[in-house]
Chain A
Amino acid sequence: GENVEQHPSTLSVQEGDSAVIKCTYSDSASNYFPWYKQELGKRPQLIIDIRSNVGEKKDQRIAVTLNKTAKHFSLHITETQPEDSAVYFCAARGEDDKIIFGKGTRLHILP
């Protein structure tokens, strides 16, 4: 089955700097890669996603890149703000429609 690895587990960046979170997946048939943000005590919520037929997708300060050959994808947050502090999860969905999540990255934005 699919296995998703996520790094780093914790990331601290200065406000205004960029943050990058990286994930790898094992199933070459996976075709959909969402990213979820979970604020403390709240539910995970989708912030951006990418399909396997696209290499990059942007939405304001966040972007996701996908390298199908290497089976890795990354989340980029630019001009970080205090409200970006949260846990971020990457995920991959295979042909069986199961979405497997990475272990999460706790992002701290330092003032």
Chain B
Amino acid sequence: RKEVEQDPGPFNVPEGATVAFNCTYSNSASQSFFWYRQDCRKEPKLLMSVYSSGNEDGRFTAQLNRASQYISLLIRDSKLSDSATYLCNTGGFKTIFGAGTRLFVKA
């Protein structure tokens, strides 16, 4: 089992839709988690961090379920500009990234 696993997608959704991604992790000692957004082969950029049960920023909500060892990212009212790959990451110095989930938002 990979240390961090994501559904690769792609997720194809219409504008205005709500979409959710999950990310499972195997190291129960992980303290913090991050969602990064990556546009086509450009550098990843931080979208949200998750330290406790969850975090919300506008249309984006991240939740952490320690018992089941997964974090989720919910995007409400999807925009065309949300089309990207979303990477899940466990924090720490020896950090692990998931392979990413691709999202396409269509008009």
Question: Do A and B form a real pair?
Answer: no
Instruction: State the B residues within 8 Å of A (CB).
Output: none
Instruction: State the A residues within 8 Å of B (CB).
Output: none
